[in-house]
A and B are shown apart, each in its own frame.
Chain A
């Protein structure tokens, strides 16, 4: 029994870790292509959850259409935000683009939270179970939602890694990460790639939010914890590395789930923060990051 529970927790942590990796992947993309940090990343997670909820309850779509629908919705919102607010970063010569982006996205956090509270109401919402019922897999009891989360987020992360390696756009994003000027000379349209990359990062966050909506429920402030987690993933895995964010996410997810059960859960979040601080101070490259 003890052993079975342990494995169940590990698998559970694995699934949650993949969701964190999905969030961290978006931040890796933003950090590379736009060279900014998005504080509102968690808010897109929240919007994704709401989009899935309303697509399933109001429109009545099945889950395999609602989750991509939520991703498309967050992609569009992200692209609009980039077009409206973040274009000065690459169009004008800005003295401190990082500070600009920090302040703008901080404003966005408050704006989106309050807007969500007004439009959707300050309650917890739960979309219907994507795959109802529990399944016994290899002697471990898993809910259908958990299995879906595990599979779908694995597909998304691996698909994104493939996309970054093999397609023209993925290669151009990696080129911008290495050298913005060089990419420009080789014919990459920076302003177009910027909004597409921002939208994609938001869509990844939205997809993560939509996937775990039946597990963790949706509320206007739901974006807070995943935002913190995604930054911890970024710090542990290293900025600008897909493998790093994958490994960092899984590590964080598994330790967190085990820690919540075997150690007291009150200081759980603080421990994550201390880990992040130690990594940033003494191992700033993370597990997989390049030297800065």
Chain B
């Protein structure tokens, strides 16, 4: 990570700390927490798809599993919800290792089908075993804190997790393991020829994404106090895809920008166009993919040399 990126992370952190004191309405508090949840999911999906090139369609299933694992452990064993976060993440990482070990032998579209199958099986199991999981009605989970200020404190838990996740993703981008993942994504055969253990790095990338998705799911469960199977549905996966695509696949800031765009925009248009919400997003996703495959980050990359050029000229003029 270079200096600029630490600077930006710091700015986001400070803004995040200041924001809840300025924003008073509980609605926007919930929106911000949703933003953290989706940002964590999209950043972790970006690690799986954007960095390692594995089109995993079962990413939201990891969040579901993490949420339920954490919720059940807190309810039945009486752990603190903070341990629940950890347990949710670790259980998903373990599932990621096992599933990845089996599934990552196949490439491309087959992988997509198999991960999708995993997501559907998770959904069916949760809906059917309703005496344990509460079925479609959902599982009521205890929150992080109790009392009137609970949401306010929980917000900082979300902020902390989100920043941790972001820094992790940025560090990974600039590290040697990150390079291995890119090699696996860009050309599997070439990577193998260069001596990269592609199987290992695929599984690690997959499990890593799974871990953070599990943490995100556990956070969701304990913040909202309710988790139901709908967070593992196809619509949710579409949303995550959209955020990453609109922001820019395989970039550090892309998922962040995409999530910001989607969550905030969906809150703004909620009043008048609630019905059209997902419709508009699907349209945006298709158009982005068709015309600007790089997303927001693609536009920024395209514009920044032009702007730099312009500024350099202006500086030259000012000097003269």
Contacts and interface: CB of A to CB of B under 8 A. Distances in A.
Interface string A220-250: 0000100010010001000000000000000
Contact of A280 (B114, B121, B125): B114
Contacts of A104: 286, 289-290
A31 B15 CA distance: 48
Contacts, number: 93
A98 B282 CA distance: 19
B279 A114 contact: yes
Given A98-B108, A107-B238, A284-B106, A269 B120 contact: yes
Interface string B93-126: 0000000001101101110111001001100110
A253 B279 CA distance: 33
B275 interface: yes
A172 to B, nearest CB: 24
A283 to B, nearest CB: 12
A136 interface: no
Interface string A83-116: 0110010000000001110111011111100110
Nearest to A84: B290
B276 interface: yes
Interface string B274-294: 011011011101100110010
A84 B225 CA distance: 44
Contacts of B279: 110-111, 114-115, 118
Contacts of A281: 102-103, 105-106, 114
A143 interface: no
A108 B128 contact: no
Interface string B208-243: 000000000000000000000000001101100110
A277 interface: yes
Contacts of B286: 85, 104, 107-108, 111
A84 B290 CA distance: 9
B230 to A, nearest CB: 13
A269 B113 contact: no
A210 interface: no
A267 interface: yes
Contact of B282 (A110, A231, A270): A110
Contact of B278 (A102, A114, A235, A270): A114
A273 B117 contact: yes
Contacts of A25: none
B59 to A, nearest CB: 13
Contact of B285 (A88, A107, A115, A117): A107
Interface string A63-86: 000000000000000000000110
Contacts of B51: none
A37 interface: yes
Given A103-B241, A115-B279, A269-B124, A280 B106 contact: yes
B278 A277 contact: no
Contact of A235 (B108, B113, B121, B290): B113
A245 to B, nearest CB: 15
Interface string A278-292: 001100100000000
26 contacts: A37-B109, A84-B290, A85-B286, A99-B55, A100-B289, A102-B55, A102-B109, A103-B285, A107-B242, A107-B283, A110-B279, A111-B282, A111-B286, A114-B278, A115-B279, A118-B275, A118-B276, A224-B234, A231-B113, A270-B120, A270-B121, A274-B117, A277-B117, A280-B106, A281-B102, A284-B106
Interface of A: 37, 84-85, 88, 98-100, 102-104, 106-111, 114-115, 117-118, 224, 228, 231, 235, 266-267, 269-270, 273-274, 276-277, 280-281, 284
Given A110-B278, A115-B279, A270-B124, 9 more contacts: A102-B109, A103-B289, A107-B282, A107-B283, A109-B282, A110-B279, A277-B114, A284-B106, A284-B110
